Structure 1
Amino acid sequence: MNLHDWIDELCDVLDLDAEVDEGLVLDLARVAAHQVVRPAAPISTFLLGLAAGRQGAGPEEVEELAARARALAEAWDRPAGAPDPEAAGAEVEVPDDRGVDHTADLREFEDA
């Protein structure tokens, strides 16, 4: 079974009459995973689908929504409202956590 067959079967099970551009969805997932954090991939694609469904978006509107989400992920370096450490005169205290082992934080998501 290939991905397209899976999508068709899943749409049937979920009672969805939808065409899915899997390339568009996978591209958003890839960018979100690499630019934000790995778990952002499924959350981003879910929210894209939710937004598209709520807006009754057609294929062109879905592409626009995906482009906006991708642009956000590509530019992601800090949350909205967080101080810009490179801004003139900004004094942002960055905690020193070199002694903290964060490997368990990542393993939790890799095993999922």
Structure 2
Amino acid sequence: MNLHDWIDELCDVLDVDVDVDEALVLDLARVSSHQVQRTAAPITTFLLGYAAGLADADEAGVEALAARATALAESWERPAGAPDPDEVEAEVEVPDDRGVDHSRDVADVIS
């Protein structure tokens, strides 16, 4: 099964009728993953879809929203893996974990 088949099947299961520009979504995921942090990719693409749905965006509208999100990610000041200066005290040494796979990490949720 290829990606296009997966998207078709997923749309059927989710009961949505939409044409997906895989390249657009994957490019946005790549930029946000590299410029922000790895876990930003699925959240960024989810929010793109959510915003497009709220706006009832056509293809051009989705492309415009994706361009805005891409521009934000490309201008992000902290490269992927850099500590958030608001969360790290100056005296604390931050270990370099760029080689660690965090894709299965679970975020703490505050309710």
Please indicate, yes or no, whether the TM-score normalized by the shorter chain is above 0.5. Answer: yes
| In structure 2, distance between residues paired with 1:108 and 1:2 | 25
RMSD value, Cα: 2.1
Distance change (3 Å), C-alpha of 1:60 and 1:7: same
Q: Which blocks of at least 5 consecutive residues in structure 1 are unaligned?
A: 79-93
- 1:18-97 alignment, distance < 5 Å: 18-77=18-77, 95-97=90-92
Give the TM-score of the pair, scaled to structure 2: 0.77
Give the TM-score of the pair, scaled to structure 1: 0.76
| In structure 1, distance between residues paired with 2:91 and 2:64 | 40
Structure 1 residue 110 corresponds to structure 2 residue 103: yes
Distance change (3 Å), C-alpha of 1:106 and 1:55: farther
Structure 1 residue 101 corresponds to structure 2 residue 101: no
Alpha-carbon offset, residue 15 of structure 1: 0.2
Larger Rg, first or second structure (1 or 2): 1
Q: Which has the higher helix share?
A: 1
Q: Which blocks of at least 5 consecutive residues in structure 2 are unaligned?
A: 79-88, 106-111
Q: Which has the higher contact order (CA 8 A, sep 6+)?
A: 2
